[in-house]
Structure 1
Amino acid sequence: MASLRRRLAAAALASAFVAAASSCASSGSGGSSEAGGRTTVKFWSMPFWIGQDTKVKQLVDDFNASQTKVTVEFTQLEWKDGRDKIKQAIAAGNGPDVWLMNNGLELDYLKAGALAPLDKLGYTAKDTENFLPLAKIDEYNGKMYGVPLYFDVDVMLYRTDILQQYGYTAPPKTWDELKSMAAGITTKSAAAGKKVSGWQFKGMDDHLNAINSTWESFLCQAGGSLTSADFKTSTLNSEAGKTAMEYMKSFYTDKISPTGTSALNGFISGDVAMFPFFQSVIANVQAGNEKTKDKWAVAPMPTGPKSGCSMVGGHSLVARADGKNLNAAGTFMKWLASPERSADYMQFHAIFPYQRDKVAPEIQSKVNAWLSSDPNWNAIFEQLGRNTPDLVLQDRHAFQTRWDAQKANIVAGVNGQMPVDKALKTIDDTVGQALSNEK
């Protein structure tokens, strides 16, 4: 039933996008409105400030208090269905003027011309040149359509207390070291009477969706890609894909990691020694309070056969192309995604999306204060420097189909329910059909 609803919503969205693309920018039904001399902008967002669900509303309130010409009406959505609600509202001809979208953006919106390019929202070349080079993930056909709030990168989190307990003085730096160290911790702890899993892949647990970022990180490290260079062919069933999945599978075949154990919850409770995920999960680890205080740290991802790259995530703001007042939408986007606000997002370990030498001195000081307050930032920025926009630009194509197919088949291949080559071929066949429909 849920799948059917998604197909129907997708069909309605496609129809709406065709209509939007063929209409004048000023004639859309979902644009800003005038009220009491102020232009009203509708903003829909999930609570991106991790650990504080009321923070986004507070930010909107702060913006409204600072303005005389623009008012933002805020609707907070839930992560579980917020993206679908936005799509359905846009497809129905209403919904928000500005909304939250994954970095990399969604191809359906871009192909239909449903998003306003930043140069139509008041952004200049100087504004966009100040972003980190990774901001290229929000470009399409030479124009930028999303303004990044912050970036995420997959890193490795490890329990310093557990590693020290079993004789390890530093985190692993390579795949071989990771496998050896994780096996040592699992074996030694079991012999001592309280088994601790040396490693868990995020996504082989209660947060299945995380297998996508985990898998794509290890595929990247093996030298693989999601698609061909022209985005027309799915390329997981390759030597690199097999290398990555066989490596991940070996943790379960060799009894190092138990399928089904929560990576995050196990890490907080001390039942998992190491796991990978976006660095913003630090906010959840810190919420463990005394269970985790002064007992963990962050390291760059262990390097694989080809590199130490990892998946890039985070969120951007976008605006609808048929909005009645794009300047007002741009005013709000510039404020919420400004260097000043982005520096504040570092409170939940979001990565500052601007080049530090291109922002005002007072913002540089704020960013530097966050960096000096936590040594984990060194590892996060080392990982950031290893990453490129390539995977995210590939992931944009057949995104939902790929992520659904990977959730089912990567887990099945890694835990031994399906042969590795069959799991990879199944994904390629499923995603390949979706890619052919994009032509």
Structure 2
Amino acid sequence: MARPRSRVLLAASLATVCALAVSACSSSTGDGGSAGDGKGTVEFWTMPYWIGQDDKVKALVEEFNASQNDVTVNLTQLEWKDGRDKIKQAIAAGKGPDVWLMNNGLELDYLKAGSLSPLDQVGYTKNDTDKFVDLAKVNEYEGKLYGTPLYFDVGVMVYRTDILKQYGFDKPPATWEELKSTAAAITTKSAASDNKVSGWQFKGMDDHVNGINSTWESFLCQAGGNLTSPDYTESTQNSEAGKTAMEYMKSFYTQKISPVGTSALNGFIDGKVAMFPFFQSVIANVEAGGAKTEGKWAVAPMPEGPKSGCSMVGGHSLVASSQGKDLKAAGKFMKWLASPERSVQYMDFKAIFPYDPAKVDPAVKAAYDKKVQGDPNWKPILEQLGRNTPDLLLQDRHGWATRWEEQKASVVAGVGGQVPVEEALKSIDNQVGKALSAEK
């Protein structure tokens, strides 16, 4: 699949702005925005990242505005379906926000264009950034940190405790082999009892096709694979690890264990899917199932593959424009919204705390400890967190737009059996390789 024309134009527009006016893309406060006096108005554009409660972000901005008199934040809430593109278009046109929401790992177009201000220029000190967990390195570029994480996501496994128990399993599968045998037993036995339940569904092989990206990259990682070469110049998915991961995923469909198209989340809530993988923040959606799911599910770390039990890392960060009128004012808001005090609140929708709990204020640590101790699902989530490194997300930054579009087509086709596995992997490497060459 060719790279979507809209994304090509958006990436090109950023590059054009930089080519025409180098100073407009500089990350230096001398050539770009003003450090300022920390007083003024900040334009904040975001998608509603508080899962399940879109009004929460607005309430937080209002709380910040009421808490002090130096900075006023104007909020523009965008939709997930096109919010990122609207921000990119506005930045390229020189009319963008001062602070905005971006995926952890950040986007290379912004970084190469000098559109983002490093955190040390908006008021962050080494003492501030040393409090982050090691995964915060996903927001580094050329030795500087450019995004302050609000929270992290990691890929985990969600399973129905009631269904597993019904079919004779008292614990979740811990390896690829156990996952497949457990899922197969549930699918087969339930079909024989005329109450068919799919033992497993890969998120993304359903009505949420974009989810195949995080799913695929988790399983590729577990097989020992990488997205790119160490210098980010070559796409490396057509490897033995890539073939191992895709053949394993494909076997669930060729052996009729999993059904292509069935919604992993909705099927899980309705008791028709026993297990599926996704970011742990999907818990908020599972809990919204009410009586259908209450007391009937749990979280486990990802089943370990041939090489490891790693998974995809996600989540969101705040970034500041290098062209902001007052970088210190932007920094004051960023430090407040992404502070340990606010981040511990984000744990209510199962967002992972981005700070080392041992390095934050005792009152915040007490709140963190209370949330972790009050919910047994935090133990496997934090175990999964400890299995992951920044590497996969730093690779994903390169050729990201092309990769995520191509994987949606090629991984689904390869796993679903529409094309041979090696052909699917070659297609990914071919398309992503072109994008990586263009980055040089």
**Over aligned residue pairs, what C-alpha RMSD do you find?**
1.8
Distance in 1 between the 2:138 and 2:222 partners?
19
Q: How many equivalent residue pairs?
A: 437
Correspondences of 1:280-299 after superposition (within 5 Å): 280-299=281-300
Report the alpha carbon displacement of residue 67 of structure 1 after superposing the two structures with TM: 1.4
Q: Which residue of 2 aligns with 1:61?
A: 62
Question: Cα offset for 1:16?
Answer: 1.9
Amino acid at match of 2:277: P
Q: Residues of 1 paired with 2:34 and 2:334: CA distance? A: 15
Indicate the residue corresponding to 1:119 in structure 2. 120
1:61 partner SS: helix
CA–CA distance in 2 between the matches of 1:69 and 1:164? 57
Residue of structure 1 in register with 2:308 after alignment: 307
TM-score normalised per structure 2: 0.97
Residues 101/17 of structure 1: CA separation in 2 closer, same or farther (3 Å cut): farther
Contact between 2:203 and 2:264, CA under 8 Å: does it hold in 1?
A: yes
In structure 1, the residue matched to 2:92 is 91
Please say which of residues 319-328 and 10-19 is displaced more in the overlay: 10-19
- Other structure's SS at 2:302 match: coil
How far apart are residue 95 of structure 1 and its match?
Answer: 1.4
1:52 offset after TM fit, Å?
Answer: 0.1
Is the 8 Å Cα contact of residues 279 and 349 (structure 1) preserved in structure 2?
Answer: yes
Q: Residue in 1 aligned with 2:153?
A: 152
Q: Which amino acid aligns with 1:425?
A: K
> How do 1:15-34 and structure 2 match up within 5 A?
15-19=16-20, 21-23=22-24
What residue in structure 2 maps to residue 259 of structure 1? 260
Counterpart of 2:406 in structure 1: which amino acid? A
Q: Deviations over 1:377-406 (max 9, x none)?
A: 000000000000000000000000000000
Amino acid at match of 1:252: Y
Superposed displacement of residue 194, structure 1: 1.1
Residues 309, 386 of structure 1: 8 Å contact kept: yes
1:160-183 residue CA offsets vs partner (Å, 9 max, x unmatched): 000000010000000000000000
Query: Corresponding residue for 1:403?
Result: 404
Partner SS, residue 334 of structure 1: helix
Q: Is the 8 A contact 1:249 1:415 kept in 2?
A: yes
Supply the distance in 1 between the matched residues of 2:185 and 2:97 (Cα, whole angstroms).
52
Matches within 5 A, 1:419-430: 419-430=420-431
Aligned partner letter, 2:217: E
Judged with a 3 Å threshold, the aligned counterparts in structure 2 of structure 1 residues 338 and 265 are, in CA distance, closer, same or farther, namely same
Gaps (5+ residues) in structure 2?
none
Please give the alpha-carbon distance, in whole angstroms, between the structure 1 residues aligned to 2:300 and 2:334.
33
Provide the C-alpha distance between the structure 2 equivalents of 1:187 and 1:94, rounded to a whole number of angstroms.
57
Q: How does 1:125-274 map to 2 (within 5 A)?
A: 125-274=126-275
Quote how far apart the aligned CAs of 1:13 are: 2.1
Q: Cα distance, 1:18 vs. partner? A: 3.6
SS at match of 1:309: coil
Give per-residue Cα distances to partners, 1:114-145, cap 9 Å, x unaligned: 10000000000111011000000000000000
Relative to structure 1, the CA distance from residue 118 to residue 20 in structure 2 (aligned partners, 3 Å threshold; closer, same or farther) is: farther
CA distance in 2, matches of 1:65, 1:266: 43
Matched residues, percent identical?
Answer: 70
Measured against aligned partners, the alpha-carbon deviations of 1:7-56 in whole angstroms (never above 9, x if no partner) come to: 3233222212445643465699998999xx95000000000000000000
Cα distance in 2 for partners of 1:303, 1:403 equals 24
Distance 1:127 1:64 in 2: 22
**Residues 3 and 405, structure 2, Cα contact 8 Å, conserved in 1:** no
* Partner SS for 2:124: coil
Contact map agreement 1:27 1:324 (CA 8 A) in 2? no
Q: Is the 8 Å Cα contact of residues 259 and 415 (structure 1) preserved in structure 2? A: yes
Residue 378 of structure 1 pairs with residue 379 of structure 2: yes
After superposition, give the CA deviation of every residue in 1:338-362 in whole Å (9 maximum; x if it has no partner).
0000000000000000001000100
Give the corresponding residue for 1:70: 71
Q: Secondary structure at the match of 1:75?
A: strand
Change (3 A) 1:30 1:127: closer
1:54 and 1:21 mapped to 2: Cα distance? 39
Contact 2:237 2:428 in 1 (8 A): yes
Distance 1:30 1:4 in 2: 31
The residue aligned with 1:12 is 13
Please give the alpha-carbon distance, in whole angstroms, between the structure 2 residues aligned to 1:68 and 1:28.
Answer: 28
State the distance in 2 between where 1:73 and 1:27 align.
25
The CA deviation at 1:204 is 0.4
Asked if 1:412 corresponds to 2:413, the answer is yes
Task: Give the letter for the 1:94 counterpart.
Answer: K
User: 2:236 is aligned with what amino acid?
Assistant: T
- Supply the distance in 1 between the matched residues of 2:31 and 2:57 (Cα, whole angstroms): 27
CA contact (8 A) 1:17 1:109 kept: no
Is 1:431 the counterpart of 2:393 in the alignment? no
SS in 2 for 1:99: strand
Distance 1:121 1:177, change over 3 A: same
CA shift digits 1:68-98 (9 cap, x unpaired):
1100000000000000000000011111000
- Give the unaligned 5+ runs of structure 1: none
CA contact (8 A) 2:29 2:35 kept: no
